[in-house]
Structure 1
């Protein structure tokens, strides 16, 4: 399985993969999780997709999109600070040029094998891709809002979070805000067998 990065406004002819990503997000967030998200023609998008994010995608051997996540600099508008301020101490987030905001993480695990730690290959590929993609863009950590159940998955993968605040009930989900390190040691722990990428050759570096 391969991890790739695509810049939203400079996708180098890979727009079909972005379209497939938006369809995956619709299936997962609206269909499987029942989130109240905006769906148009079977695709999920929100206002943060207009902020020139970098997308990390996991591709199968058939080049189908099996997972995705969105990275934005924490110095600008972020989903964590604007959509989930109740998860932050004092409701505010201090932006750092070396910190990325991660959102819209999801994987399609249908038909995927489980690796060690009983996690799917797509999940571990996404973790490795997010770390490698973050480092390639000049980030050394990632912040995100997450379900406490997903926090346990990260722990099992060897990529534990450091909580920024307390646990809050959002809708029907017990949620937290957390910081994840983006460093070589974390990458080495989560990287699954057969992992491939070209993320270290990304041209853009965070200002």
Structure 2
């Protein structure tokens, strides 16, 4: 498995991977979690995908999308500030140039899918179950606000450190990173 950071303007020739990512998001957010998200032709997209995000794609050894996340600078529109302001004190995220928002994080749990620089914090909206998993993994979140029920999900806003120390704390003994940037490939 490998992780790839792909800028929204860098995905020439990688359309099939982006298509897989949007299908995975539909299966997870609309299907498994039952969120009211916009799904067309089996693919989930929202207005934040039009803001030139960076996507993190976790790819299987066979090249399939096993998981994904979307990163946006917190100095512009974000899900936390525009879609989930109720999770933040005063309804506002105090964005910084060295912070990104992570959204649309999901993992393919069906079975066949298993197998960046410039920022030091990640802001995200998540559910309390994932917050507990992150804490057990050694990556505790700081909550700027309280817990709110959104739909059927107990949700929180969180700020996570994105530094080498946090990364190393979460890695199992002997772990070796194989994170690479995808190169543009011909279709």
User: How many correspondences in the alignment?
Assistant: 181
Name the structure 1 match of 2:141: 161
Which residue is equivalent to 1:2? 2
How much is the aligned-residue C-alpha RMSD, in angstroms? Answer: 2.0
Structure 2: gaps of 5 or more residues: none
Asked if the contact 1:48–1:79 (Cα under 8 Å) also holds between the matched residues in 2, the reply is yes
TM-score for the superposition, normalised by structure 1: 0.82
The partner residue of 1:198 within 158, 161, 180 is 180
1:172 and 1:30 map into 2 onto residues whose CA distance is 13
What is the alpha-carbon distance in structure 1 between the residues aligned to residue 56 and residue 169 of structure 2? 19
Match of 1:118 in 2: none
- Normalised by the length of structure 2, the TM-score is 0.90
Extract unaligned runs of 5+ from structure 1.
114-120, 123-132, 203-207
The answer as to 2:58 corresponding to 1:26 is no
Residue 127 (structure 2) aligns with: 147
In structure 1, C-alpha distance between the alignment counterparts of 2:177 and 2:125, rounded to whole Å: 26
Determine helix, strand or coil for the equivalent of 2:129. Answer: helix
Out of 142, 160, 169, the position equivalent to 1:189 is: 169
Distance 1:107 1:195 in 2: 19
In 2, the alpha carbon distance for the partners of 1:99 and 1:184 equals: 15
Deviation at 1:171, TM superposition (A): 1.2
**1:55 matched to which residue of 2?**
55
Alignment of 1:123-138 (within 5 A): 133=116, 136=117, 138=118
CA contact (8 A) 2:35 2:151 kept: no
The structure in which a higher percent of residues are helix is 1
